[in-house]
Amino acid sequence: MRLFIAINFDRKMLDSLTEFQASLRKQEVTGNYTTEENLHLTLAFIGDYNDPDAVLEAMEQSAFRPMEIRLDGVGSFGDLFWVGLAENKPLFAYVKRLRRELAAAGIPFDGKRFSPHVTLIRRASARGGGAIPVAEAPAGSMLATRVSLMRSDRGKNGMIYTEIGCVE
């Protein structure tokens, strides 16, 4: 079972992100666009792990508290195009607690530095090969009231993400 821990977005945030994706399509930006149902903020990627109950226990121990999150800017990691999140000390503090609890429970996770972003396009390419045109980055904010344990399965048309538990 491939697992990750994420914040899933409310309708208003999803609308902001998908409208921005639509504007990129109109500007002939190509690539593998993340489907609406897969847009999320990853807090910890666990990968193959067959004890979701242990992960949920670590999530419960990490004391999640509701927090405001806000979209802020765009960027890329190679050909992966993303929308960033505004600086958020409570979010970073939570991720630190979460990862400490995962480690204490012996649950493996990707230990890369947390860089809060929402992946919009994989293998992104602008018409003519230049920079991806962005006149205005998407705006949006929401109160995150829960953290979700997600399962990732490969479907015939891409990845399928399913919530298998949450902490509020």
44, 5 in Cβ contact below 8 A? yes
Q: Where are the alpha helices (DSSP H) in the chain?
A: 11-26, 52-61, 89-104
- pLDDT at residue 79, as a whole number: 87
Q: What is the pLDDT of residue 148?
A: 97
Q: Is pLDDT of 70 > 80?
A: yes
Q: Quick: pLDDT tens for 10-64.
A: 999 999 999 999 999 998 899 999 999 999 999 999 999 999 999 999 999 999 9
Q: Which of 139, 45, 37, 143 is nearest to 88 (CA)?
A: 143
Q: For 101-160, what is each residue's pLDDT tens digit?
A: 999 999 999 989 999 999 999 999 888 777 787 868 899 999 999 999 999 998 888 889
Partner residues linked to 81 by β-bridges:
76, 121
Count of C-beta atoms within a 10 Å radius of residue 70: 14
CA 67 to chain centre: 16
> Can you give the pLDDT at residue 109?
95
Q: What angle do CA 160, 154, 95 make, to 5 degrees?
A: 60
Q: Is the pLDDT of residue 77 over 90?
A: no
8 A C-beta contact, residue 162 and residue 153: yes
Domain ranges of the chain: 2-167
Q: Which two tokens stand for residue 28?
A: 């002939």
Mean pLDDT of 88-106: 97
pLDDT of residue 133: 77
CB atoms closer than 10 angstroms to residue 103: 13
Q: Given this model, what pLDDT does residue 158 score?
A: 82
Give the per-residue pLDDT at 35. Answer: 94
* Helices 89-104, 52-61: crossing angle, 10 deg rounding: 130
Q: Are strands 141-144 and 147-155 parallel, antiparallel or unpaired?
A: unpaired
pLDDT for position 159: 87
Whole-number pLDDT of residue 54? 97
Residue, of 117 and 78, whose pLDDT is higher: 117
Query: How much is the pLDDT for 128?
Result: 76
Q: Is the domain defined by 2-167 classed in CATH 3.90.1140.10?
A: yes
